[in-house]
Structure 1
């Protein structure tokens, strides 16, 4: 036995490095830059379209702009965190991806139905993206739940 004091689970968490890992910082910067660049690109396309656009087109441009800004906000949020996130960032990213893929698949399906061509290709591609995003969402929730469960176990052990 050593005479060193035992650290509680909370003290261990408090001692964790408050900075993000290099990998997480790179992902955050990539999300921020891609979101901003995508937002600028989509908005400039929207504003530069000649003539009056149908309402569905305005809605599609607006939704794509919102998705880009959501990724930019996610990147900025992640870069400003100075606490252990317990995989919260993965849950947030997975939900952004799921919502964006669902809406994009819907827009593609409606556009294909109105044009009368490529309906099945749009549905298959959109469905593939939705399934992938759903799988990532489930995985992120499970990982977060496992980390929180482990933290509770450590905290309960400490109290015993």
Structure 2
């Protein structure tokens, strides 16, 4: 019965994990190549943006690699982690873009609306993931007589 609560990885989740790994690595390689091929000296905020995008891509690749190697039921831990990655990435990206918009003197409202939308969706996903994980762990405790994960 516990195995039915949540298997280690369904075929669909395994495909999504491999996609996160491959796309994360490809994105990191692309951003790093673009960063390295820029001619001339770049402003500090441009270096920061390239570094952040590279870190975001490597984080998704690390998440995908971690997920592919799991052989035990995760009880929605993967969803919680993915939600937090998305929330942090959208919030940091919005903050960086807002700073750039203020420095340039244009478009702050659009940046805040779009960034707020992405961050809001990510926050909803985090809350839902935590609720799903709590429900699965509660059900596991019921079935095992109170034993912890």
TM-score (norm 2): 0.91
Alpha carbons of structure 1 residues 41 and 108: separation in structure 2 relative to 1, 3 Å: same
Could you tell me which of 73, 84, 87 is aligned with 1:84? 73
User: 2:75 is paired with a residue of what secondary structure?
Assistant: coil
- Once residues 107 and 124 of structure 1 are traced to their aligned partners in structure 2, the CA distance between those partners, rounded to angstroms, is 14
Structure of larger gyration radius: 1
Q: Does 1:45 align with 2:9?
A: no
Alpha carbons of structure 1 residues 19 and 119: separation in structure 2 relative to 1, 3 Å: closer
Question: In the alignment, what sits opposite 1:3?
Answer: none
Q: Does 1:108 align with 2:97?
A: yes
Alpha carbons of structure 1 residues 71 and 132: separation in structure 2 relative to 1, 3 Å: same
- Once residues 48 and 104 of structure 1 are traced to their aligned partners in structure 2, the CA distance between those partners, rounded to angstroms, is 22
**Aligned residue pairs: how many?**
147
- Once residues 44 and 27 of structure 2 are traced to their aligned partners in structure 1, the CA distance between those partners, rounded to angstroms, is 21
TM-score (norm 1): 0.85
Query: In the TM superposition, what is the alpha-carbon distance from 1:86 to its structure 2 partner?
Result: 0.3
Question: In the alignment, what sits opposite 1:151?
Answer: 140
Query: In the TM superposition, what is the alpha-carbon distance from 1:17 to its structure 2 partner?
Result: 9.5
Q: Does 1:127 align with 2:85?
A: no
- Once residues 80 and 7 of structure 2 are traced to their aligned partners in structure 1, the CA distance between those partners, rounded to angstroms, is 20
Alpha carbons of structure 1 residues 123 and 18: separation in structure 2 relative to 1, 3 Å: closer
- Once residues 85 and 146 of structure 2 are traced to their aligned partners in structure 1, the CA distance between those partners, rounded to angstroms, is 36
**What is the CA RMSD across the aligned residues, in angstroms?**
2.0
Once superposed, which parts of structure 1, at least 4 consecutive aligned residues long, lie more than 4 Å away? 15-19
User: 2:145 is paired with a residue of what secondary structure?
Assistant: helix
Provide structure 1 residue ranges, at least 5 long, that are not aligned to the other structure. Answer: 1-8
Query: In the TM superposition, what is the alpha-carbon distance from 1:20 to its structure 2 partner?
Result: 2.1
Comparing 149-158 with 22-31, greater Cα deviation is found at: 149-158
